[in-house]
Structure 1
């Protein structure tokens, strides 16, 4: 099972490295999304710079990467620690992709996909809640706070394992850290255009 665990983790990182926003920018506009907006290779920047349809497509693909990595690892039958490391690896691959000089996204959509496979009903309910502040403010950071902050308490309330509770804290913390680092360097004119 060691080889299966290693495969799952490496697969997770490589899958996470799939640069959906970069590909969308090249195909739709012939541009490098990393040179536009806040230079972030994620759904929010794709929405802002390439349009809503492109942003939604990137969001779905990035969330799908997280879910797919976890489902493949589950099918392989890796133990829980390896499964959780696979999720961390796919988020790391998205944030620091191998194929594009380790310049990626913030990991929110990919983290959503990972956690959706482990706590599906709470995550879907919280997604519905998070859409309300997003619709009102167009602020991704605020919506992310509504989505990710309550997950750990809800996991505890549902009698999830200690490992899964800790995991539901760790992954959003990675997202929060990358959001903080990236937002500090976001140009003011980009913030004023919405979808921040």
Structure 2
């Protein structure tokens, strides 16, 4: 039935089929269904269609340009996420799949990942936030700067001193905290 519906949308010109060029304007891609997900984009749901994307049964994606505070099925470069939820038939049409709550990384944001140009000053263990099936770590993102206490020493920085602390950079034990200095 889905294959017939997709074929009808294609015939009426209401759906986009085929590869979308990565340089295409977001307005032309966002909110459309496509056989592929262009580089730099994500998708918010998917299904399978028959005889619409190269024959047989093939994935069909609801493509969106990534943006802050969007639930998406993938995490594009330049984004982090602050929550993962498990949903049935959204990101995996055959069962449970994960949706990520996308965030643009910024100073003083609790996030599930630490982007390359950030450090963090605290790690906390939480249940069902960054791991919908159990415990996961949440990081307090910080923009590296001189005089910041951080859990890592980013590229371009050294440190004046370090302190072994319990429960700050390791929620279940001791870890070093570094007093950063710009090189």
Q: TM-score range by the shorter chain?
A: under 0.3
> Greater CA radius of gyration, 1 or 2?
2
User: Which protein has the bigger strand share?
Assistant: 2
- Which of structures 1 and 2 has the larger relative contact order (alpha carbons within 8 angstroms, sep 6+)? 1
Alignment TM-score, normalising by the size of structure 1: 0.23
